[in-house]
Structure 1
Amino acid sequence: MLHAYVSQSPGLARLGQQSPTDPRPDLGRAIWIDLYRPLDSQSAAVEALGLEVPTLADMEEIEISNRLYREDGTDVMTVVIPGHTPDGVQVAGPVSFILTPERLVTVRHHAPRSFITYPDRAARTTPGCATPERIFLGLVEEIVARLADLLEGVGRVLDAVSARVLGDAGPEELKASLGEVGRQGDLLGKIRLALLTLERALSFFDQTRAAQGAAHELRPIIKALMRDIAALSVHNDFLSSRVSLSVDATLGMINLAQNNTVRILSVVTALFLPPTLIASAYGMNFANMPELNQSWGYPFALVLMVASAAGTWAFFKWKKWL
């Protein structure tokens, strides 16, 4: 899918929907081209503008030299941010920003929400959307804001889990809570990776502008974004510690519930030990056992077994083990 936008007061205006039969109407006018799971014809349309569209394999390269580089006046920056696949599965996937003086091209194979909300908010972002550089920084600002929202959501989920675990949660609720905490921990890992790659991309963008010797009026915006990323990284670390605490608390409650069950079984077993001992004694085949020849011998043994069990139960109650 290909979406193209032109700068139009007060924000961005979308060009006509692209199709395989008409892949590039007026792409030369576009200030931002967003490629989402692009078809070969759509990639070819962008490459006709003199830009190389990286493949998913290229974008997934982990070497920093492949993710951040400048070639023939074009900056290529690849970051990893959370989003959803077409099946609705949350993943952390690569997004490439190809920045030239004329336009910005983004290439992605999953759907971060920031790319959906940004076109309508472009004019209200701090950098604005008058140039490709400002659109890039506006997108980063939108991504950072989305990551902040995700962190707040994780915090709310952990609050709910803590209240449930420390309350009167049953075994099934504890099991569900443990799974929920695990999912939030996985999301925090994706957010942390996104913050790290965004910080690298912004630092690279700032350095390339400084190397060109241009008066960098965007530097205050970059510094503000870097401060936001640093603050979110601290918040992410705090929530990660809360995840560990929630896991420990949940496992502790599960252990307490299991201990209660084991304690009940132990008490039941102990109640039957004295009667079993008595029955074993009267089951021995000795010749001189006078009770065996008396009519009251059998009832006496039964009463003795019941009395021993009752005495054991009373002792446990007195010790407050029950």
Structure 2
Amino acid sequence: MIRLYDCHGRSLDIPPAADQPLPDDACWIDLIHPSADDETRVERLIGVEVPSRDELRDLEPSSRLYIENGAAYLTASVVWKSETDFAEITDIGFVLSGARLVTIRYAEPKAFAIFAANTAREFCGLDGRDVLTRLVEAMVDRCAEVLENRSRKIDTLSSEVFSRGSVSNPEAATRDLEATLGVIASHQRTIAKVRESLMSMARVAGFLQTLPEIAADKLLKQRCRAIAGDIQSLSEHADFISENIIFLLDASLGLISVQQNQVMKVLSVAAMVFLPPTLIGTVYGMNFQNMPELSQPWAYPVALAVMAASALGPYLWFKRKGWF
């Protein structure tokens, strides 16, 4: 799919013939899941090569940020599906050729949808350089939104974890805490993807400041510096959230261990309670000839009473100690 926008944010139609030029005010070509024909068509319209999907996946720094034939090529790793339990990273390509910007993407991050929905308000006689810096700014803002949402969810989860640790049913609390480990892992995965995205965009923001067409514009250069500062602040915030997640994970594992130890304590106390009666019953179950109590009529009830006393004694002592 090919979407074309002019400098005022209005959607334009792609020229039907390959030999027809783009309108003079066309500044942004957005390729979404482009086919080979779409890439070839755009290459003919702008006169520069459009990177393929395999080229976008190249992890070499020299293949992600470079200038070729007068056009700047940038690849940014952007987080998406952050509302789900399985956040992912997608590579988005940017080609800045003169006053026109081409974006190549095989996913639909929310930042692009928000930016495209606000094109009429965002665009006001802009060119490809402005669109590029504003797009990067929108992606950074989206990362900030994801971090804030996850931070609130982690705070809520923290309250739930410590309240579960104080319930009277240890088995139910342990099951709830074990289920919470999966939620914590989901939060950690999302934060890790956001940190990866911020690191990628930090390189993009630094590279933008070196481009002559942006360095010559004071406003664009200041915007790139502001973006770099925002990325630094968000990276520190992501580190803080990650530390909170680690603490929450340790606390959950600790509470699970406490609950399991409580169960083991009850089993140990029960074993100690029944150990003395078992000993007495074992002694009187022996077939010795000289056991005078066996011939007495009161022997059986006395043996039962001794067994009950030997069981009740340890129980009361453990309860007094608070172990039961």
- TM > 0.5: yes
Within the alignment, does 1:134 sit opposite 2:136 as a pair? no
Deviation at 1:312, TM superposition (A): 1.1
Partner of 1:163: 159
* Bigger shift: residues 128-137 or 222-231: 128-137
Q: How many residues align?
A: 313
Is 1:281 aligned to residue 278 of structure 2? no
After superposition, the Cα gap between the structure-2 partners of 1:153 and 1:180, relative to the gap in structure 1 and judged at 3 Å, is same
Match of 1:226 among 214, 225, 228: 228
What are the Cα deviations for residues 94-128 of structure 1, in whole angstroms up to 9, with x where unaligned?
11111111311111111110110102334655x96
Cα distance change, pair 168–88 in 1 and its aligned pair in 2 (3 A): closer
Residues 76-225 of structure 1: pairs in structure 2 closer than 5 A: 76-84=73-81, 90-122=87-119, 124=121, 130-168=126-164, 170-209=173-212, 214-225=216-227
Inter-CA distance 289–201: structure 2 relative to 1 (3 Å threshold): same
Range moving further from structure 2, 190-199 or 172-181: 172-181
Matched residue, 2:42 = 46
The structure showing larger relative contact order (alpha-carbon pairs under 8 Å, at least 6 residues apart) is 2
Q: Secondary structure at the match of 1:285?
A: coil
Q: Does 1:28 align with 2:25?
A: no
Sequence identity (%) = 35
Counterpart CA distance in 1 for 2:198 and 2:139 is: 9
Letter of the structure 1 residue corresponding to residue 115 of structure 2: Y
Which is further off, 170-179 or 63-72?
Answer: 170-179
CA RMSD after TM alignment:
2.5
Q: Offset of 1:229 from its aligned partner?
A: 0.7
CA contact (8 A) 2:27 2:127 kept: yes
Q: Distance in 2 between matches of 1:151 and 1:26?
A: 45
Q: Which moved more, 1:214-223 or 1:230-239?
A: 214-223
Q: Do 2:177 and 2:256's aligned partners in 1 also have CA atoms closer than 8 Å?
A: yes
Going from structure 1 to structure 2, the CA distance change for 1:128 and 1:265 (only over 3 Å counts) comes to farther
Higher mean alpha-carbon deviation, 112-121 vs 283-292, is at 283-292
Aligned 8 A contact 1:83 1:112 in 2: yes
Residues 16 and 25 in structure 1, CA contact (< 8 A), matched pair in contact too: no
| Partner-residue secondary structure (3-state), 1:52 | coil
Pair 1:200–1:282, CA change in 2 (3 A): same
For normalisation by structure 1, the TM-score amounts to 0.89
What 5-or-longer segments of structure 2 have no aligned partner? Answer: 166-172
Instruction: Give the AA of the match of 2:313.
Output: G
Per-residue deviation, 1:248 = 0.8
SS in 2 for 1:65: helix
Distance 1:89 1:249, change over 3 A: closer
For the Cα contact (< 8 Å) 1:4–1:27, is it kept in 2? no
Indicate how the Cα distance of structure 1 residues 17 and 311 shifts in structure 2: closer, same or farther if over 3 A, else same: farther
- Conservation of the 8 A alpha-carbon contact between 2:101 and 2:132: yes
CA contact (8 A) 2:99 2:129 kept: no
| Structure 2 residue aligned with 1:250 | 252
CA–CA distance in 1 between the matches of 2:270 and 2:218?
A: 78
C-alpha displacement of 1:90? 3.0
